A and B are shown apart, each in its own frame.
Chain A
Amino acid sequence: MTRTGSHTGAQLIWECLIREGVTTVFGYPGGAILPAYDAMVGFDIRHVLVRHEQSAVHMADGYARASGRVGVVVATSGPGATNLVTGLATAMMDSTPLVAITGQVGSGVLGTDAFQEVDITGITLPVTKHNYLVTRAADIVPALREAFAVAKSGRPGPVLVDITKDAQQGRAELDWEAAEPIRHLRHLPPPLDPEALARALELIRHAKRPLILAGHGIQMSGARAEVLTLAERADIPFALTLLGLGAVPATHPLSLGMMGMHGESWVNKAIQEADLLLALGMRFDDRVTGKLKEYAPHAKKIHIDIDASELGKNVPVDVAIAGDLLAVLRALLPGVEVADRSKWLKQIRGWRGDSAVRDIKNLPDDGHLYAAHVMHDLWRLTDGKAVVVTDVGQHQMWEAQYYHHDEERSLITSGGAGTMGFALPAAIGAKVARPEAEVWVVAGDGGFQMTFAELMTAVQEGVKVNIAIINNGFLGMVRQWQELFYEGRYAATPILSPDFVKLAGAFGIHGQRVDTRADLAGAVAAARAAEGTALVEFRVEQEDSVYPMVPAGAALHEMIRRPSASAIAETGSDPV
């Protein structure tokens, strides 16, 4: 440890964050990070104190997804650091730019099983894009600068910087320029291959039934306008991934809706019938493709992704282009010809019309409350303008189906990892990032109980989020699988909940319960009008299932469709 130098390592951490443009961090103090917390007092940075470190990462994640900036989370060594793992994995799967700073025991006792010591760089190796163990004050700035560069560049992701206590206490000069990160530049995509671009244009020109698969990469690359230009000029409809929702407007005439396991039947049918798939910033996840052997059998495939390791990983493609989507589209667009594909669009509209009779929205109110109604009405009541942060499960899919997102970064959800407990903390992070936005949490009764302690964080921080709990008394998606694939044996899926209204009262926030569709609008209005965070519990049909559904392992066209509305009206059976 050097005794010279103008700053302590702890001060360097905050200096560095401020220079990186960080205004807010989410964290929880502890012994090994105490020097950093002590130094924080002298810096103009907002610290959001969470109730559990897992929530701190989710908050930083929600913050990053809502704003496009890098989310920052701070935790102590040992259990503080290990509590970050789930959140890091969540961010890794969904490519969220995050920097996690963890305290570590003194370098002199590293490896001795000292109090609150864990090998966090070892533990987080597979769930971070990169990580660092810093043992000297002089290495803090280079490590943090590189961490931010790595988190943001290429395919974004989480980076962890583990800093020993003595490195925080040591002293060093702040040499910002000398710490200019360069290594990450090695990993930026290579120059575009003109031959691949030409082949892509050729395929687009000759396609009769083309389809754009719109993914998360569109929002991350800022390529929305270019994607719309491409679609409109070449008259190509787009299907969206879960994380792609909002990337292009849901109400756009060429927008078909979500694809995949719980995608709309006409979208999946269009994919199976297409003769060209133009995959933009998406990664052919198994929830999107269904059975790979029968996926889009007639289609040529063009795949554009910034991560070359995604190209050809799951689906063999005819043209693979590694690159930033915006740059690729700008290179492609001059060669894209105006086309008329009305025949193909008409065919898709036919399939869509066929499905309309199965739409629950066409059902008269039978006195029961269905989650689909809640989502549909919430969409109407908020003019489709809210930032919705969902948890994971049935409600997540209903949200994706019935809340139509026009704006970018207006749906925040754990897609890749499927992390329950994500919604409430991520929503707090999103609201901190965009205080002017109306933020709604949509959570199930199960996931909400995983992290509802963060209600107190929202109260302490004065953050207003509106919470819709879709309570069906079950771990609903698991129950649905048990019903369909495990002969209805509901092993460990019925779940009791506390009185959510009383719970809201205990946290000092507005709480309300809704049992009928008639009471829905009033409750939503009251929640929106309430001063701080507000909670509405929707008691919905218990054994309602999400349709359409592609059973795991089945091909996309082997969907279980929604029961038709007329059939439901006659029999009164399960309608969604």
Chain B
Amino acid sequence: MPHVLVVYTDDEPGVLTRVASLFRRRGFNIHSLTVGPTERSRQARMTIVVDAEEATVRLAVEHLRKQVNVLEVQQLGDRPKVVRDLALIRVAAGLDVRSEILQLAQVFRANVVDIAGDSLAIECSGGPDKIDALVDALRPFGILELGRTGAVAMARGPRASPERPAAAPPPASNQAMSV
């Protein structure tokens, strides 16, 4: 069953590798891993979706918590949450089907972000299921290019308080930013 982990890390070079290799070493299959900046300075936020048993995920969380660069780990588990994925889909769209595709996009509340002679690029965000459904719906027209971000997730309700005290990072040992 897919588990959603939200991991706050220092925004330093190599952190993404540390986190990813921790999963690789233990043979986890990562469904998706997204990284971006957060509301706090010099911190990154990762959303990691993995498919594994409950006990294995618990161990992964403990391993994550041991990482020097990890500030906080939230296991969203069964909690109510918002999970969003962004997709950019370039679909073949001759004049004869263009209006049909536009209608479809409207149904999915997707936006057209680029128009070429015989294709349209559509942007859609939503739960992974919704994106899957849109992709399926567009497939008969001919998908020319598809890019998805993987999930970004957040628990519903007030912000979950940090499970461990989060100390401020020391001066970065390297100037370059980004994980």
B41 interface hit (Cβ, 8 Å): no
- Is the CB–CB distance between B164 and A186 below 8 Å? yes
Knowing A125-B17, A187-B68, say if A139 contacts B62 (CB, 8 Å).
no
A434 interface hit (Cβ, 8 Å): no
Q: Find residues 42-75 in chain B having any chain A CB closer than 8 Å to their own CB.
A: 55, 58-59, 62-63, 65-71
Docked complex Cα distance between A181 and B25 (Å): 28
Knowing A121-B14, A308-B65, A313-B59, say if A139 contacts B171 (CB, 8 Å).
yes
B1 interface hit (Cβ, 8 Å): no
A273 interface hit (Cβ, 8 Å): no
A205 interface hit (Cβ, 8 Å): no
- Is the CB–CB distance between B167 and A186 below 8 Å? yes
Q: Which residues of A have CB within 8 Å of B166?
A: 186
Q: Which residues of B have CB within 8 Å of A150?
A: 68
Q: Which residues of A have CB within 8 Å of B171?
A: 138-139, 142, 178-179
Expressed in whole angstroms, the minimum distance between the Cβ of A545 and any Cβ of chain B is 34
Docked complex Cα distance between A443 and B164 (Å): 45
B165 interface hit (Cβ, 8 Å): yes
B161 interface hit (Cβ, 8 Å): no
- Is the CB–CB distance between A186 and B165 below 8 Å? yes
Q: Which residues of B have CB within 8 Å of A139?
A: 171-174
Q: Which residues of A have CB within 8 Å of B55?
A: 312
Q: Find residues 140-187 in chain A having any chain B CB closer than 8 Å to their own CB.
A: 142-143, 146, 150, 154-155, 178-187
Q: Which residues of A have CB within 8 Å of B17?
A: 122, 125
A-B contact count (CB 8 A): 78
Central interface residue in B62, B69, B170, by most chain A CB within 10 Å: B170
- Which of A19-27, A127-135, A352-360 lies at the binding interface? A127-135
A275 interface hit (Cβ, 8 Å): no
Expressed in whole angstroms, the minimum distance between the Cβ of A10 and any Cβ of chain B is 17
A190 interface hit (Cβ, 8 Å): yes
B18 interface hit (Cβ, 8 Å): yes
Q: Which residues of A have CB within 8 Å of B70?
A: 186
Docked complex Cα distance between A129 and B66 (Å): 9
**B contact residues, total (Cβ < 8 Å):** 31
A377 interface hit (Cβ, 8 Å): no
B38 interface hit (Cβ, 8 Å): no
- Choose from B21, B25, B68, B170 the contact partner of A142 (Cβ within 8 Å): B170
Knowing A308-B65, A309-B62, A312-B58, say if A183 contacts B170 (CB, 8 Å).
yes
A335 interface hit (Cβ, 8 Å): no
Q: Which residues of A have CB within 8 Å of B65?
A: 187, 308-309
- Is the CB–CB distance between A126 and B63 below 8 Å? no
Docked complex Cα distance between A136 and B65 (Å): 28
A94 interface hit (Cβ, 8 Å): no
A324 interface hit (Cβ, 8 Å): no
Expressed in whole angstroms, the minimum distance between the Cβ of B73 and any Cβ of chain A is 11
Docked complex Cα distance between A450 and B55 (Å): 41
A61 interface hit (Cβ, 8 Å): no
Q: Which residues of A have CB within 8 Å of B172?
A: 139
Q: Which residues of A have CB within 8 Å of B160?
A: none
Knowing A133-B174, A183-B169, say if A126 contacts B62 (CB, 8 Å).
no
B116 interface hit (Cβ, 8 Å): no
Q: Which residues of A have CB within 8 Å of B165?
A: 185-186
Q: Which residues of B have CB within 8 Å of A121?
A: 14
- Is the CB–CB distance between A187 and B169 below 8 Å? no
- Is the CB–CB distance between A190 and B164 below 8 Å? yes
- Is the CB–CB distance between A312 and B170 below 8 Å? no
- Choose from B14, B25, B66, B169 the contact partner of A309 (Cβ within 8 Å): B66
A307 interface hit (Cβ, 8 Å): yes
Q: Which residues of A have CB within 8 Å of B164?
A: 186-187, 190
Q: Which residues of B have CB within 8 Å of A133?
A: 13-14, 173-174
Expressed in whole angstroms, the minimum distance between the Cβ of A38 and any Cβ of chain B is 23
Knowing A126-B25, A309-B62, say if A182 contacts B68 (CB, 8 Å).
no
- Is the CB–CB distance between A307 and B21 below 8 Å? no
Knowing A125-B17, A126-B25, A133-B14, say if A185 contacts B62 (CB, 8 Å).
no
Q: Which residues of A have CB within 8 Å of B175?
A: 135-136
- Is the CB–CB distance between B173 and A132 below 8 Å? yes
The closest CB in chain B to the CB of A150 belongs to: B68
The closest CB in chain B to the CB of A155 belongs to: B66
Docked complex Cα distance between A121 and B65 (Å): 20
Expressed in whole angstroms, the minimum distance between the Cβ of A101 and any Cβ of chain B is 14
Q: Which residues of B have CB within 8 Å of A187?
A: 65-68, 164
Expressed in whole angstroms, the minimum distance between the Cβ of A306 and any Cβ of chain B is 11
Q: Find residues 9-41 in chain B having any chain A CB closer than 8 Å to their own CB.
A: 10, 13-14, 17-18, 21, 25
Docked complex Cα distance between A73 and B70 (Å): 27
- Is the CB–CB distance between A130 and B68 below 8 Å? yes
The closest CB in chain A to the CB of B176 belongs to: A135
| Contact indicator per residue, chain A 103-134, by CB within 8 Å of chain B (1) or not (0) | 00000000000000000011001100110111
- Is the CB–CB distance between A125 and B167 below 8 Å? no
Central interface residue in B25, B55, B165, B167, by most chain A CB within 10 Å: B167
Expressed in whole angstroms, the minimum distance between the Cβ of A142 and any Cβ of chain B is 5
- Is the CB–CB distance between B58 and A182 below 8 Å? no
- Is the CB–CB distance between B174 and A309 below 8 Å? no
Docked complex Cα distance between A455 and B169 (Å): 44
- Is the CB–CB distance between A146 and B170 below 8 Å? yes
Q: Which residues of B have CB within 8 Å of A307?
A: 66
B168 interface hit (Cβ, 8 Å): yes
| Contact indicator per residue, chain A 494-536, by CB within 8 Å of chain B (1) or not (0) | 0000000000000000000000000000000000000000000
| Contact indicator per residue, chain B 149-162, by CB within 8 Å of chain A (1) or not (0) | 00000000000000
Expressed in whole angstroms, the minimum distance between the Cβ of B166 and any Cβ of chain A is 6
Q: Find residues 290-316 in chain A having any chain B CB closer than 8 Å to their own CB.
A: 307-309, 311-313
Docked complex Cα distance between A313 and B175 (Å): 37
- Choose from A125, A178, A311 the contact partner of B21 (Cβ within 8 Å): A125
Docked complex Cα distance between A82 and B102 (Å): 58
Docked complex Cα distance between A126 and B24 (Å): 11
The closest CB in chain B to the CB of A133 belongs to: B174
- Is the CB–CB distance between B173 and A142 below 8 Å? yes
- Is the CB–CB distance between B174 and A182 below 8 Å? no
Q: Which residues of A have CB within 8 Å of B63?
A: 309
Docked complex Cα distance between A179 and B58 (Å): 33
Q: Which residues of B have CB within 8 Å of A125?
A: 17-18, 21
* The 6 nearest A-B residue pairs measured at CB: A309-B62, A182-B167, A130-B68, A139-B173, A308-B62, A143-B173
Q: Supply 12 A–B pairs (Cβ within 8 Å), ascending by A.
A: A125-B17, A136-B175, A139-B174, A143-B173, A183-B68, A183-B167, A186-B71, A186-B166, A186-B167, A308-B66, A309-B63, A312-B58
Which A residues contact B (CB, under 8 angstroms)?
121-122, 125-126, 129-130, 132-136, 138-139, 142-143, 146, 150, 154-155, 178-187, 190, 307-309, 311-313
Known: A125-B18, A185-B165, A185-B167. 10 other contacts (CB 8 A): A133-B14, A134-B174, A139-B172, A146-B170, A179-B171, A180-B170, A183-B10, A309-B63, A309-B66, A312-B55
